Amino acid sequence: MRVRVRTAIGAAFGATLLAALPGCGGGTSTGGDSAGHPKTLTYWASNQGASLEDDKAKLTPELQEFEKQTGIKVKLEVVPWTDLLNRILGAASSGQGPDVLNIGNTWSASLQTTGALLPFDDKNFAQVGGRDRFQDSALASTGAQGKTPTAVPLYSLAYGLYYNKKMFADAGIAKPPATWDELVQDGKRLTGGGHYGLAIEGGNVSENIHHAFVFAKQHGADFFDAAGRPTFTSQGAVDGIKQYVDFIARDKIAAPGNAEYAQNESVADFATGKAAMLLWQAAGPNLQKHGMKPDQFGVAPVPVQSGTPGPGGNIDTMVAGINIAVFKNSGNLDGALKFVKFMTSDAEQKKINGEYGSIPPVKTASQDPAFNTPELTVLRNAIATSAAPLPQVPKESQFEELVGGAVKDLLADAAAGRPVTTQSVQARLAKAQQQMQ
């Protein structure tokens, strides 16, 4: 999921669960033919581009193509990330929502519990081309394990390690780091004279939770047990988060001011040479907007403890991306499924993911030569071999807020020169876990 805002949603889910009644009517399809088949769909798209208008410009030609093929007109609304989740919760509560909508894939399990989204059982998956067309890692972020998915992958993203080729060459570093020890060593060589080895987005709760998840996995930890109970204070989770916070606290390879970054400032710092490395999702288009040319940066897999990304303790990225879902009370379920099939077709997957710099979660589309750039090859391989979804549990969204906020507070402590110890990390996580219960 590409989200750059903090949301306060824990209580909202409780209210929604009580109010989301599948039989209360909804959907916004209007018009129809003589047989009563609606000819209009409403689609809530997430803001993936540089602006809401940019998204409209990118998506409108595709919606016009869908209308040309099916006779069904799509009313588009691009919803900013600051509003999207609350809009979805309100629609679930009232029973009056769009026909089709985008959701951040880390919200899948939480929104699944509302009962407002159409389950994609074998029959519904068959209507959009079948589940076998999608990457397994992307499918793992469509709902809770063991439950029928309520969404279909639309855009896939993964983290990579971006590095400034000239700064590396000037420092005599021949290749990007493969382990965290190497990254810290290189980072120290690249830090000095107002420049830092690494830029991070420490004031951004979503970025924090993504990295906390990966570092914990590399230390053999999960944030929830098999029964869905929080285990935030496990040794692996504590060690993983401390390792991340230590980039400012102990290693001093990231600027103290990074603790306040929340609006892509770290991308700007990397693009302008203030930092030599960046951990980011599909940063290429943004870097170019800041004036950095593609041949000025390289992309490598995110480091792991062993140096070789893979499954289990060698996970190096969360499964980032966007899913597309159907509102269960749509007045035009047949048309909505046709639209999902259209948006996940090979042709459309190549077009829309190409526009956004993301990677098609549809296997065949992802193999198109357009996605074989050095940057996207690294990210595509990560999605296929070394990615894992954030915990698919009903309280996942609250987990993001609480643990991501705890990491933000720890980074603020580090920036202010306050000690960050194993005990202080454990105390912050214990407080977050208590708030979950």
> Minimum mean pLDDT among 30-39, 85-94, 361-370, 399-408: which range?
30-39
Q: Which pLDDT score, from 0 to 100, does residue 148 have?
A: 96
Handedness of CA 220, 226, 230, 234 (dihedral sign): negative
**pLDDT score for 32:** 52
**pLDDT at residue 22, as a whole number:** 34
Q: What is the pLDDT of residue 38?
A: 66
- Report the alpha-carbon distance of residue 360 to residue 352 in Å, rounded: 9
> Is residue 231 a contact partner of residue 437, using CB atoms and an 8 Å limit?
no
Query: Rounded CA gap, 386 and 309, in Å?
Result: 6
The predicted model gives 404-424 an average pLDDT of 97
In eight-state DSSP terms, residue 394 is: T
Q: Is 337 exposed, middle or buried (0-12, 13-18, 19+ CB in 10 A)?
A: buried
- Give the span between the Cα atoms of 38 and 34, in whole angstroms: 10
pLDDT at 34: 39
| Buried/exposed code over 129-161 (b: 16+ C-beta within 10 A; e: otherwise) | bebebbbebbbbbbbbeeeebbbbbbbbbbbbb
Percent of the chain with pLDDT over 70: 91
SS3 content of the chain, % helix, strand, coil (to 5): 50, 15, 35
Q: How do residues 108-167 score in pLDDT, each as one tens digit?
A: 988 999 999 999 999 999 999 999 999 888 898 999 888 999 999 999 999 999 999 999
Residue 2 has pLDDT above 60, yes or no: no
Task: Report the SS3 class of residue 250.
Answer: coil
Give yes or no for a contact between 269 and 262, defined as CB atoms under 8 angstroms apart.
Answer: no
Q: 10 Å Cβ neighbour count for 183?
A: 23
37 has a pLDDT exceeding 80: no
